[in-house]
């Protein structure tokens, strides 16, 4: 609803339709994003209208059931992450966590979403349970071969595949509405930053707690790390989701901060980094480790572009932010071209196709195509007067393609490469 209100802010008739279709949701969403649309005269009108009808802005009401579900979900997620220690299942801890840590976190997030829905769709719930069940069985039946690149890729990509399932749960399995996908992208940006803040605060609390107990000669480090820290780590995304869900007026300010502050800093850093490569003699063509770091940097910058686009699409055109994003998309495209050429060089030189190179090549090709489309749209936004929502729709439309690729790597590569 929030996205639809923003998109209709210059269309009074559409706003009225949205209001009449779901008055309660419209009211809550309107006041959540009012700080973003306050410059519009029509927003002043709607604020006065809604306040007159309700004698003031509605207060945030925290449902006790949401708090209860938050506690229950965090406890269950914490219990699942401690299975190796509780039941002594005969697996090394790193093997269990390598296979199941991401799965457990996403299971907790998905369970919390289902529990806090106004109405549970039992078909969607059943489908989600089946997919999680298949994933648990599949990933834990794969051979324990740390030398197998295809199996390690399955370990790495399964959480991303389940993240896609989590996205479907978030948008109520409405795969036709691209605006719901945009909301999901924005949620991930808000949740990631809030979870980071929670973890930083938790780190400070841990330091103080251990220090206080050490003064009175009580060594609690092992117990504290085994039970408090580990459970806190897997619970932080769920707690962040609770905050995003219940305090939208706070979290809606996060994405614009990323767009207005971090994008220029990332752009400057990226340009300096590319220039520095020319003087250091390092190159991704002959240095495998450098190529890996190069690709991780590429993924990070692409993620920032995705989140920042949703942060820029607010009350009015922000030409500076749009031009920064356009420039950043060009530089990122150059980075991707360098990475692609390095991968193709290593394939054609003497190394050949391996699971890792194939996976990285496929992902870089997808990012390359996506970046071209985003760059074209950002050019139209910056120089042709188009709305930035076109960029959002392009990003949203490409998400299913990433999902298909992730599915192929997770379930197909171990078979295609014979578990090698």
Listing DSSP states for 356-402 in one string gives HHHHHHHHHHHHHHHHHHHHHHHHHHHHS---THHHHHHHHHHHHHH
Q: What is the pLDDT of residue 351?
A: 62
Q: What is the pLDDT of residue 45?
A: 82
Q: What is the pLDDT of residue 112?
A: 93
Q: What is the pLDDT of residue 311?
A: 62
Measuring CA to CA, which residue among 387, 377, 366, 379 is closest to residue 302?
A: 366
Distance CA 145, CA 401 (A): 29
Q: What is the pLDDT of residue 348?
A: 67
Distance CA 301, CA 295 (A): 10
Residues 6+ apart with CB under 8 A from 102: 158, 159, 162
Measuring CA to CA, which residue among 382, 305, 311 is closest to residue 336?
A: 305
Does pTM surpass 0.85? no
Q: What is the pLDDT of residue 136?
A: 92
Backbone dihedral region of 314: left (phi > 0), alpha (psi from -120 to 50 degrees) or beta? beta
Residue 418: HSE in the Cβ half-sphere, 13 Å Cα cutoff: 1
Distance CA 246, CA 390 (A): 29
Q: What is the pLDDT of residue 116?
A: 87
Q: What is the pLDDT of residue 85?
A: 79
Q: What is the pLDDT of residue 315?
A: 46
Residue 160: HSE in the Cβ half-sphere, 13 Å Cα cutoff: 19
> Length of the chain in residues, anyone?
420
Q: Supply 257's token pair.
A: 């901060």
Q: Kindly give the parts of the chain with pLDDT less than 70.
A: 35-36, 39, 51-62, 89-93, 249-259, 281, 287-288, 310-318, 348-352
Measuring CA to CA, which residue among 364, 362, 374, 378 is closest to residue 398?
A: 374
Q: Which long-range contacts (CB under 8 A, 24 or more apart) does 41-45 make?
A: 42/9, 42/10, 42/12, 42/15, 43/9
Backbone dihedral region of 62: left (phi > 0), alpha (psi from -120 to 50 degrees) or beta? beta
Tell me the three state secondary structure of residue 139: helix
Distance CA 62, CA 56 (A): 18
Distance CA 358, CA 343 (A): 9
Q: What is the pLDDT of residue 395?
A: 87
Residues 6+ apart with CB under 8 A from 42: 9, 10, 12, 15
Q: Supply 265's token pair.
A: 């800093």
Give yes or no for a contact between 349 and 285, defined as CB atoms under 8 angstroms apart. no
Distance CA 320, CA 312 (A): 10
Q: What is the pLDDT of residue 57?
A: 45
Q: Secondary structure of the chain: what % helix, strand, coil (to 5)?
A: 80, 0, 20
Measuring CA to CA, which residue among 326, 412, 417 is closest to residue 138?
A: 412
Distance CA 232, CA 316 (A): 39
Q: Tally DSSP H helices, then E strands, for the chain.
A: 20, 0
Distance CA 273, CA 266 (A): 10
Distance CA 94, CA 84 (A): 10
Q: Which residue has the tokens 């559409």?
A: 14
């Amino acid at each position: 609803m929030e996205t639809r209100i923003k998109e209709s802010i210059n269309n009074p008739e559409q706003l009225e339709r949205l209001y009449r279709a779901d008055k309660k949701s419209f009211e809550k969403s309107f006041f959540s994003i009012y700080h973003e649309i306050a410059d519009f005269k029509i927003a002043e009108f709607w604020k006065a209208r809604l306040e007159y009808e309700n004698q003031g802005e509605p207060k945030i009401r925290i449902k006790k059931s949401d708090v209860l579900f938050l506690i229950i979900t965090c406890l269950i997620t914490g219990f699942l992450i401690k299975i190796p220690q509780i039941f002594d299942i005969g697996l090394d801890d790193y093997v269990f966590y390598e296979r199941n840590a991401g799965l457990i976190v996403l299971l907790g997030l998905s369970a919390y979403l289902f529990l806090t829905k106004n109405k549970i769709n039992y078909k969607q719930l059943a489908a989600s349970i089946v997919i999680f069940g298949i994933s648990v069985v599949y990933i834990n039946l794969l051979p324990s071969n740390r030398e197998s690149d295809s199996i390690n890729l399955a370990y790495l990509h399964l959480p991303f595949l389940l993240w896609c399932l989590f996205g479907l749960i978030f948008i109520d399995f409405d795969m036709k509405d691209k605006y719901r996908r945009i909301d999901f992208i924005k949620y991930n940006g808000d949740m990631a930053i809030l979870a980071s803040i929670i973890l930083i605060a938790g780190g400070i609390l841990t330091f103080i707690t251990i220090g206080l107990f050490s003064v009175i000669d009580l060594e609690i480090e092992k117990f504290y790390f085994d039970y408090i820290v580990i459970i806190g780590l897997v619970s932080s995304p769920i707690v962040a989701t609770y905050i995003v869900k219940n305090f939208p007026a706070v979290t809606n300010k996060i994405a614009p901060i990323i767009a207005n502050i971090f994008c220029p800093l990332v752009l400057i850093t990226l340009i300096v980094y590319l220039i520095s490569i020319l003087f250091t003699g390092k190159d991704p063509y002959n240095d495998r480790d450098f190529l890996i770091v190069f690709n991780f940097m590429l993924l990070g910058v692409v993620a920032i572009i995705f989140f920042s686009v949703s942060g820029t699409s607010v009350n009015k055109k922000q030409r500076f932010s749009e031009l920064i994003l356009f420039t950043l998309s060009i530089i990122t495209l150059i980075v991707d071209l360098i990475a692609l050429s390095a991968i193709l060089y290593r394939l054609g030189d003497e190394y050949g196709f391996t699971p890792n190179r194939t996976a990285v090549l496929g992902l870089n090709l997808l990012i390359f195509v996506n970046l071209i489309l985003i760059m074209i749209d950002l050019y139209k936004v910056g120089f042709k007067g188009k709305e930035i929502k076109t960029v959002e729709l392009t990003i949203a439309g490409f998400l299913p393609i990433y999902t298909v690729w992730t599915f192929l790597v997770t379930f197909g590569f171990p078979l295609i490469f014979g578990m090698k």
